[in-house]
Amino acid sequence: MRKIAVLYSGSSHHHRTYKTSEFAQYIHTRIPARQFATTDLSEFDVLLIPSQSHTGILSQNIEKIYDFANSGKIVVTFGPPHTEWLPEHNWEFRPTNFWWWLEPGADSGLRLPGADHDLFTNYLTLDDATWHQHGVFWPSEGCETLVSTEDGGAVLYIDRVNTGGIWVNTTLDPDYHYGSYFMPATERFLRGFLPWLQRGVI
């Protein structure tokens, strides 16, 4: 099974999600954010960068993150995205509708082009990935979009083409909402996504 390291800020939502909840079992190591620059990542298979991560520390360690990816490893980013450094992502900000489900005939606007991917055949449903979006990616040709908006913008996609490794990028922020005790779908998302990340077919 893959060894997952998470960049850990110690914030309340990171603390709950990655240290004290049922999901801690999937995390091999929590790397304190201020020790990230000096941490050897070679033993890990996956680097998970949570939502609400320290942008200054990320900016100081972009080369380290890319070196990790280029060694053939997996980088996962939860949103809203760190748009200045993700590879060939073409981010488009869109205003967040937090209350779309209260509208008559409510439609989240999400679609599942990745319905045949292992993540959605064995671990998640589209409902598990549905709460709200902060925008979309327009990833480069060759990337695989698993969850999209109805106009084709990527909400969750896999990039195997722009570095020597694999990036799993999403605008979704499940760790923030689960760690803040709201949005039930985020608990279901993590309950499927983290086991897939540890042992599924990426």
Confidence (pLDDT) at 144: 98
Structure tokens at 143: 């990337």
In tens, the pLDDT along 116-151 reads 999 999 999 999 999 888 889 999 999 999 999 999
Instruction: Read off the pLDDT band of 98 (50, 70, 90).
Output: low
User: Which residues lie closer than 8 Å to 16 by C-beta, 6 or more apart?
Assistant: 178, 179, 181
Q: Which amino acid is at 177?
A: H
Q: What percent of the chain has pLDDT over 90?
A: 82
Distance CA 58, CA 37 (A): 9
In this predicted structure, the answer to whether residue 175 has a pLDDT above a threshold of 70 is: yes
Looking at residue 104, what is its pLDDT? Answer: 79
Proportion of the chain above pLDDT 70, given as a percent: 95
Q: Is 152 exposed, middle or buried (0-12, 13-18, 19+ CB in 10 A)?
A: exposed
Answer whether 111's CB lies under 8 Å from 129's CB: no
pLDDT for 95 equals 74
CA distances from 91 to 27, 30, 61, 72, 87 (A): 28, 28, 21, 24, 10
Q: DSSP labels for the chain? A: ---EEEEE---HHHHIIIIISGGGGG-SEEEEGGGGGG---TT-SEEEE-TT--HHHHHHTHHHHHHHHHTT-EEEE-SS--TTTSTT---EE----TTGGGSTT----EE-TTTTSHHHHHT--TGGG-S--SEEB-PPTT-EEEEEETTS-EEEEEE-SSSSSEEEEES--HHHHHHTT--HHHHHHHHHHHHHHHHS--
6-10, 80-84, 173-177: the lowest-pLDDT one: 80-84
Instruction: List, edge to edge, every strand of the sheet that includes 166-170.
Output: 29-32, 4-8, 46-49, 74-77, 166-170, 154-159, 144-149, 110-111
| Predicted confidence band of residue 103 (pLDDT cuts 50, 70, 90) | confident
Residue extents of the structural domains in the chain: 4-199
The pLDDT score that the predictor gives to residue 84 is: 79
Q: What is the pLDDT of residue 185?
A: 93
Reported as a pLDDT band with limits 50, 70 and 90, residue 97 is low
pLDDT in tens, 15-49: 999 999 999 999 999 999 999 999 999 999 999 99
Arithmetic mean of pLDDT, 64-87: 91
What is the pTM (predicted TM-score) of this model? Answer: 0.95
The per-residue pLDDT for 30 is 98
Q: What's 4-199's CATH class?
A: alpha beta
| The pLDDT of residue 106 | 67
Q: For residues 11 and 157, what is the distance between their CA atoms, to the nearest angstrom?
A: 27
The pLDDT value recorded for residue 142 is: 97
Beta bridge partners of 72: none
Would the pLDDT of 50 be above 80? yes
